[in-house]
Structure formats: C-alpha cells, structure tokens
Amino acid sequence: MIGWRRFLAVASFVLAVAMVPLPVAAQETPATPSPTETAAPTPSPAETPPPAPIDSPIPAPSDSPTSAPPETPPAEPTPVASEPPAVTPMETPPTPVPPPTEPTPASAETPEVVPEAAPVQPLAPTYRILATREGLVGYRTANGHRIRPRDRFVALPSWGVLSSRGGNEFQVRVTYRGRSVVLPVWDVGPWNTRDDYWNPNRRYSDLPVGLPMAQAARQQGYNGGRDEFGRRVRHANGIDIADGAFWDDLGMTDTDWVEVTFLWLGADPGPGADVQPTATPLPEDSSPPEARVTEAAAHEQGFMVRWSGSDDGVGIASYDIQARALPEGGWTDWQLATTSSEALFVPPGPGEYAFRARARDWYGHEQAWRDADDLSVRVP
C-alpha cells in the first residue's frame, strides 16, 4: 500500500512539471504562476492504473523533474507575443549629414537682400514774401469759412492749394523776426488766383520760382503792372495773414516781409530755415525813396498831373501828392497812399496851382516833404 502511494505522488509531480510552460528568454521578469496553475491535477478514476500485484517491483523515480513518462505527450508551450528587442544608444542610426554644398560661381550668386531705408523727405522750400493783413472779419473765405476776429489762417494766390473748410491739407510756416507759426491755407489771394509761385512748374514760367506775380507786376512792370484780372497792382504782396496770426502770433503791425515755408512740398525745417534764392529784390535798404511831380498836361476838365519816383532798395510802395494855390495858399492833401502815377486835377477856379510829391518804400521808409514846389500850372 505504501508503494502505490509513492508511485502516485511521483506521477502527479511529473505531470505537474510537464504542464508548467517554459519561461521565455526575452521576458525580463517571469510571470509568477497562480496557485491553481501550480497545484497538481487529481487523476480521474479512469486514469488511475489498476493496483499492481504485491510481488511486482516498484519502478524507481526519475532523477529529472522535467522528464515525463514515455506514454505522456509533451505539453505544447503557450505562445507568447514577442517584444521588439531593446535598442541601446549605440544602435541609434546616426543623423545623415548632407554633403557639402559646392560653392556657387560669383556670377550666379544670389545678392543679399538688404531692406531699403525709408526715403528721406527733402525740406520744404522757404521764400521771403511781402505779407499784408487779411482783415475782412465777417466775410467768408474761398473755402466757406466765416472770418472771425483774431482768426488764424493765410491766403495764397492759387486755387490749387486751398484746404477744405476747417482742414489742414495745405499749410505754411510763417516766420517774422524770430516768431513763427504754422497756419492753414483757407483763402485765395491776394490779387491773383492762379499764381502758384512756389511751384517749380509754375503757371508764369518766365518768372523765377518764389517771386509772386503781383510783386513782379508792381516792381518790374510785369504784365503791364496788372494782375490776371487786369487790375493795376497796388501792393507787391504774395500772402495775406489773418488778424490773430498777424497781430498776436507774429507781432506784426504793418505790411512787411516774412519768411514763408510751403509745408506740402517737404518736411518742416522749423523756424529759421534758409531762405531760397529768388529774383526778389531784398537788399539792405535804410534810405527812403525819392519822388516828384513831373508833368501837368492840359485836359478839357483841368490838368492830368503825373509823378514818378525811385528807390535803391525794395522799391516804392505808395505815393502822397499835395496841392496848393499860389502865392499864399497852404498845402492840402490831394492823393494819399496811392499806387497810381497820375490823376486828373480839376482846379476850383482861375489862378496858379503848385504840386509836390513824396513816396514810401516797402520797408516803411518815407520821404520827407520838400519845401519847394515840384511843379506849378496857371489856370486862365
């Protein structure tokens, strides 16, 4: 009885070992079998061999725990999913290095693209222009602005640079004796409306840039001394300045020369900009002009009295003419601040009459009255 029990124990052990799957070499940690997998199966009654006779020898147990009885087929190993082999750092394929680039011939080299610098805007031109006060409070300018007391704008003699109502599309910097102000162009004038004298391609191409046509007409007799409408030019002004800028900003008290910078033609140079050369006669002038009555021609209603004058500087701006009855009559004003050079004198009655003249230039220098008569005429 003890022999059979030993036989059964050995057989159960061998069978259990045969059924255990072999460990896979690629696995790093073998799986721990569960208790149900390690327990030896209990043979069924059908599988239990009949008891051997008592006198039969008991077979010796096998020395190898993995060997199985000849009649028991070996158990097939359970397939295990293969894992990719671990890759060591040395096995990482090196990054391919591109072959060296052949130097490009100089003629085929692509030039380096250098960003272009922003163009430098040239400075706006500045010209010395004779300026007068606009006045006309309550009237409307060419762009519809109603002129207010102490207003601030300018008028230039061209429709092409008129700003919109209240706008600043066209502006000038006006500088006078160290004081400077930027003003919009809100009106057209003085005298002309198509004289863009600041434009290199100006309408009056036979005049230099920077010389107003009215100034050329007044000082040089250009266009017969008349503006584009045929009116005789009395002042050589090329800009009108509204009252607030004229009096308050610039400190002006009368017609005078100012520096005008036309800001739509370039960058603002600020006060004290260099004045562009023009044909404008602006020499140093400290002496007054000379004028006298030159003729008194008979006329059906009296006499046509004529006068003239000269100035070595900026030119004559206006004349004053006086008359008196000889021999004891006093001088009375007949023509004051006139820009004309003749006038019809109608005598109040028979007798002898004398005349004298004086002139003033654009700098305000005024000739003194002479004591003597310039000319006298007799009325029968």
**Domain range list for the chain:** 1-86, 126-265, 290-379
- Give the angle subtended at the CA of 212 by the CAs of 208 and 214, to the nearest 5°: 130
Q: How far apart are CA 268 and CA 182, in angstroms?
A: 10
Mean pLDDT of 250-261: 93
**pLDDT value of position 123:** 93
Q: How far apart are CA 171 and CA 20, in angstroms?
A: 104
Give the predicted TM-score (pTM) of the model: 0.50
Query: Is 368's pLDDT higher than 60?
Result: yes
With residues binned 3-state (H G I as helix, E B as strand, rest as coil), the percentages for the chain, rounded to 5, are 15, 25, 60
pLDDT-wise least confident of 34-48, 83-97, 119-133, 206-220: 34-48
**pLDDT value of position 68:** 42
Identify the band that residue 290 occupies on the pLDDT scale cut at 50, 70 and 90.
Answer: very high
Q: How far apart are CA 80 and CA 297, in angstroms?
A: 141
Mean pLDDT of 90-109: 55
CATH superfamily of 290-379: Immunoglobulins (2.60.40.10)
Identify the band that residue 364 occupies on the pLDDT scale cut at 50, 70 and 90.
Answer: confident
**pLDDT value of position 97:** 58
Q: Which of 103, 1, 5 is nearest to 61 (CA)?
A: 5
Q: Which two tokens stand for residue 227?
A: 């503006």
Percent above pLDDT 90 for the chain:
51
Coil vs helix vs strand at 220: helix
What is the arrangement of strands in the sheet containing 342-345, beginning at the earlier edge strand? 290-299, 302-310, 342-345
* Residue 96 or residue 291, greater confidence: 291
The reply to whether CATH 3.40.50.2000 applies to domain 126-265 is: no
Alpha helices in the chain, H assignment, sequence order:
2-19, 35-38, 213-220, 243
Identify the band that residue 357 occupies on the pLDDT scale cut at 50, 70 and 90.
Answer: very high
Q: How far apart are CA 64 and CA 14, in angstroms?
A: 9
